[in-house]
Amino acid sequence: MYELNSKIRDLTPYKPLAGEYKIRLDANESFLPLPEDLKKAAADAVLSVPLNRYPDPTASALCRAFAARYDVPFENVAAGNGSDELISVIMQSFLMKGDAYAVVLPDFSMYNFYGYVSECRAVEIEKDGFWKIDVDKVIETCNNENVKLLIFSNPCNPTGQGLCREEVRRLIKGVRALVVLDEAYMDFWDETMLPEFAAYDNLLILKTCSKAFGLAALRVGFAVGDEKLVRAIKAVKSPYNVNSLSQAFAKCVLEDGDACDRAFSEIRASKAALETGLRALAEKYPAIEIRDSVTNFAVVKSEKAEAIFRYLLENSIAVRYFKNMSALRITAGTAEENEAVLAAIEKFFKT
Ligand code: PMP
């Protein structure tokens, strides 16, 4: 009988929260539909895609649109099937079997997953009690442990915390490792390293269209860095990794700067409103504590987090519960969705 090897024997397929819920605030997606005229223009572009032909392997028009939007040279951009694929490609290619990579926990769980599949050694560095990164500790550990790749999200999913640019610079300069800086949520904050990526030959910045751009369904992400690094990603990735429909659709959206900017500020406003509502609840119910977040989600710390999570599910509201942080991560939604989650949490404490 065929036996799976020990590396994959106990793995289980990725399973998002199962079940039907009226309100889904569990995956940090955008709550905004695209403006009708933009949706129509993108749909027209998709209709003219020749389906009998393979996609452009370099996703050139898409990468040009991204490069123009973020004012980076086109040569320094690679596209992926979501930034998730890029994380996988980067960990497979910049690490050799047995090499050490570092994560700073709590952080996005896929880093450790891909590190494991790449048969590499995880060096896990803990954040402090407020989920802040201790830059000196990270530098010292990376250099002592001969870490070849350091990966972290900034702003961080799931903590919502941000590390300011000055500290990020210090980190990149302080380690010998390749630094993979995942800026999936940076469109909601203002400390991006993109304008100065060229100053570092050990830096890769990841971006995604899944959050602020509201295109999670398309699976489009980008890596930006030194040409040598980006060329290596392009050499390792599968040739036709981003399908033609996604390339054409995402290009149209990225080119509509005004629509994107409007969406970004609406999402920021929704997150601010959600946090204000949660803070008002925290005043009344000291069992919850609201941690500042610079992303599109709010973070609620509580010993009762699991019970609140279950109560919300019973009320058809899905959020994410993180046992390791005793916290809930609640994605900003429409005004009605935010009101509903706030009302349900209030009800939890009243009953
Ligand atoms: N990085 C971070 C920090 C994320 O939270 C996510 C999505 N949850 C991703 C990367 C992956 O995004 P995508 O593959 O949709 O681009």
Structure confidence by residue, pLDDT tens digits, 162-182:
999 999 999 999 999 999 999
Instruction: For residue 154, report the distance from its CA to the centre of ligand 1, in Å.
Output: 11
Q: What is the pLDDT of residue 23?
A: 97
Atom of ligand 1 nearest to the CA of 81: 14
Helices (H), 81-226: 82-94, 110-117, 135-144, 165-174
Instruction: For residue 184, report the distance from its CA to the centre of ligand 1, in Å.
Output: 6
Atom of ligand 1 nearest to the CA of 219: 15
Q: Could you give the domains of the chain? A: 23-33+259-350 (3.90.1150.10), 36-255 (3.40.640.10)
* pLDDT above 90 (res 351): no
* pLDDT above 90 (res 15): no
Q: What is the pLDDT of residue 206?
A: 98
Q: What is the pLDDT of residue 19?
A: 85
Residue identified by tokens 């204000």 is: 276
User: Phi-psi bin for 197: left (phi > 0), alpha (psi -120 to 50), beta?
Assistant: alpha
Q: Which residues of 58-95 are buried (b: 16+ CB within 10 A; e: fewer)?
A: ebeebbebbbebbebeeebbbbbbbbbbbbbbbbbebb
Q: What are phi and psi of 105, to 5 degrees?
A: -100, 145
Angle at 239 between CA 221 and CA 27, to 5 degrees: 25
Q: What is the pLDDT of residue 17?
A: 83
- pLDDT digits 0-9 by tens, 66-114: 999 999 999 999 999 999 999 999 999 999 999 999 999 999 999 999 9
Instruction: For residue 139, report the distance from its CA to the centre of ligand 1, in Å.
Output: 25
Helices (H), 238-294: 244-255, 257-284
User: If you average pLDDT over every residue of the chain, what do you get?
Assistant: 97
Question: Is the bond leading into 50 cis (omega within 30 degrees of zero)?
Answer: no
> How many Cα atoms occupy the beta-carbon half-sphere of 186 within 13 Å?
21
Q: How confident is the model at residue 65 (pLDDT cuts 50, 70, 90)?
A: very high
Instruction: For residue 221, report the distance from its CA to the centre of ligand 1, in Å.
Output: 9
Structure tokens at 155: 């702003």
- pLDDT digits 0-9 by tens, 305-323: 999 999 999 999 999 999 9
Percentage of the chain beyond pLDDT 70 is 100
- Name residue 262's amino acid: R
